[in-house]
Every structure is written in C-alpha cells, then in structure tokens.
Chains A and B, each alone.
Chain A
Amino acid sequence: MFVHKMWDDHELSKMVDGGVPFPMLSDAGGRVGQAYGVYDEEAGVETRGRFIIDPDGVVQGYEVLTPPVGRNVSETLRQVQAFQLVRKSGGSQATPSGWAPGKKTLKPGPELVGNVWKEWTTDMAFD
C-alpha cells in the first residue's frame, strides 16, 4: 500500500496526469491471488492475471501471463466492449472472432447453423 503510493507519486504520475485513477490493491501473502489461481507460491509473486467481471460479479474472461510479458490493453478493452454488447442484447447477439466495435455481429439461432460462412469470412478475424 505504502509502496503503491511511492510508485504512483514518483513514477506513474509521470506517465498519467494526476496519477493512477483506480484503486491499487495490496495482496501481501497472496491470499487473493490464490483464490484466483494466479499466485506463484514458489516465487512468492502474483503472475500477470487479468479478469473481466460483469455487473453481476460473474467472471466473463481472464488471461494469465508469466511476469516477463506485458498485457495488451486494447485487446482487454475490446473484450469488455464485446461482453457489454452481448449483455445489452440479452444474448441475442454474439461477437465472432476478430469483432471490434462497428463490425458485424452474429445472431445465434437455428438459421445460423451451417451458415456462418455467409456472414463471416476469415479476413474478418484480423484487424
């Protein structure tokens, strides 16, 4: 906690105006990390776990990386936007591989079975 303040005061505030806006939590002992399966007991550190939790407190997705590789924030935000769209549609829409805001969604149902090829092409999997 105190080190979070030091980090925010002395480094992060140089990257983000006014410092980090969201809470930076402390998990000394790794008990929260253990509950999420991301605590490396041997090394005594958290791995780079990232969880998307919806308004009902349900985990919709996660990604876990070993410490030397950083995450892709844009991809995380894309996933949040996709989950938000699906939730807003009440499950009537789904986002196929490569979906990004503005791109075509799919309507799951009997008519779609065997017909995805009419709605989605492999080039749509990429940016």
Chain B
Amino acid sequence: MAEEVSAGCARPTGGPVGEPVPEKQDDIKVKEKSPMIQVGKKAPDFSAPGYQKGSFINVNLSDYLGKWVLLCFYPGDFTFV
C-alpha cells in the first residue's frame, strides 16, 4: 500500500531504496570514469578492431557519420544477442 505523505512547503521527493549506495572513494572514481550516456548528446567516438565478412578490419564510429548506427554490446561470443 502506498503511504500518504503530508504536503508542506517543500515538494516531497523520492530516492534510492534498499541497500545504501556505497560512497567509498573507489566507487566515486568508477562513477566518474563511466558515466551513462545522455540522449540528445554526441555518442563518444571510438576506434575498435573487428571482423566483417572474412576480413579483419578497424572501425571508427566517426566513419559512420551520415548514417544511422545501431551499436550493440553483448557479454561474449557464442551467447545469444
């Protein structure tokens, strides 16, 4: 059941529930290193080696400017996608 809240001057706000989010120094560093992407913002460019149709290639995301790109990550080969 949802509990009723009394409305005061400040607007009630939500927050994370369950286990507290660790605030260790290391975790903060990880967060800074790996922020989530924002929609409407530029996709980070990258260069990566790859395989396509019998050839080993190197791909830059910026090679695809002017085209729509679906970029998919998956845990490992021989898993489903």
Contact = CB atoms under 8 A, between A and B. Distances in A.
Interface of A: 1-8, 11, 18-27, 31-39, 41, 43, 45-62, 67, 70-71, 76, 80, 83-84
Nearest to B36: A37
Given A22-B52, A24-B52, A25-B48, A34 B33 contact: yes
B40 A58 contact: yes
B81 interface: yes
Contacts of B9: none
Interface of B: 30, 33-46, 48-53, 56-57, 59, 61-62, 64-81
Contacts of A45: 75-76
Contacts of A18: 53
